[in-house]
């Protein structure tokens, strides 16, 4: 005889609560936690998991409860992190976590952690490798904005959105005017795009990144229908 649906519901609530508690106790960042879910179940939200999957994730978190948050450190970490987060907001990197960045550096330079990047040549190899990756995979045109890399990233995001038809075709609207209107709306600035500071650009890129990932995820889902 099958068990009552309300018991399954209670079990789900209990398992979800346990997962969130174990993840918090482990010190994992949200992106690292979602990477673990994705790696183990193919989903990035515990709410989307079946009950057996919830049990599996609980068991895994219980075994790895001592996992510490991995942080990118060292002289070149800020520059590398900024580029890696740009990769995430362009839909190129699946995770914005420092752990994923460190894994990239290891593949690129055969150095186990960003803290060991002390040689300028090694650091330049990692930085230029990231920039070349973004130029190749996301059409980031660094040379268009040699002193303004954030603008180069935002322009690439808008080109991507325009290319898939996400930017509404309003007469007179161009990618450039869309970017200016969107960035000013997101940041609350009432003047031109020239008035945005670096923090404003970061906010605009993050908002555009959410839009890019939504469009790419929808496109991926449709291709599997």
Transcribe 65-107 into DSSP letters.
Answer: TTPPPP---STTHHHHHHHHHHHHHTTSSS---HHHHHHHHHH
Mean pLDDT, rounded, for 20-32: 77
Answer whether 0.75 is exceeded by the pTM.
Answer: no
Cα distance between residue 95 and residue 149, in whole Å = 21
160 falls in which pLDDT band (50, 70, 90)? very high
pLDDT tens, residue by residue, 38-81: 878 888 888 888 888 999 888 888 876 544 567 889 999 999 99
Q: Are 46 and 19 in contact (CB under 8 A)?
A: yes
Q: What's the pLDDT score for residue 144?
A: 95
pLDDT tens, residue by residue, 77-115: 999 999 999 999 999 998 888 888 988 888 888 888 898
């Amino acid at each position: 005889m099958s068990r009552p649906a309300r018991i399954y519901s209670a079990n789900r609530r209990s398992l979800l609560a346990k997962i969130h508690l174990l993840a918090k106790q482990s010190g994992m960042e949200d992106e690292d936690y979602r990477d673990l879910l994705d790696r183990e179940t193919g989903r990035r939200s515990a709410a989307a998991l079946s009950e057996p999957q919830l049990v599996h994730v609980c068991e895994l978190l219980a075994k790895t409860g001592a996992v510490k948050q991995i942080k990118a450190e060292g002289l070149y970490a800020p520059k590398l992190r900024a580029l890696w987060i740009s990769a995430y907001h362009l839909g190129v990197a699946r995770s914005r976590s420092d752990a994923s960045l460190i894994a990239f550096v290891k593949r690129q330079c055969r150095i186990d952690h960003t803290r060991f990047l002390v040689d300028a040549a090694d650091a330049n190899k990692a930085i230029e490798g990231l920039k070349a990756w973004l130029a190749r995979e996301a059409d980031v045109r660094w040379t268009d904005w040699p002193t303004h890399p954030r603008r180069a990233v935002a322009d690439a995001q808008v080109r991507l959105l325009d290319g898939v038809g996400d930017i509404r075709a309003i007469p007179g609207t161009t990618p450039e005017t869309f970017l200016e209107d969107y960035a000013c709306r997101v940041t609350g600035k009432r003047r031109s795009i020239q008035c945005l500071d670096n923090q404003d650009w970061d906010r605009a890129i993050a908002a555009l990144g959410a839009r890019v990932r939504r469009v790419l995820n929808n496109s991926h889902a449709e291709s599997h229908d």
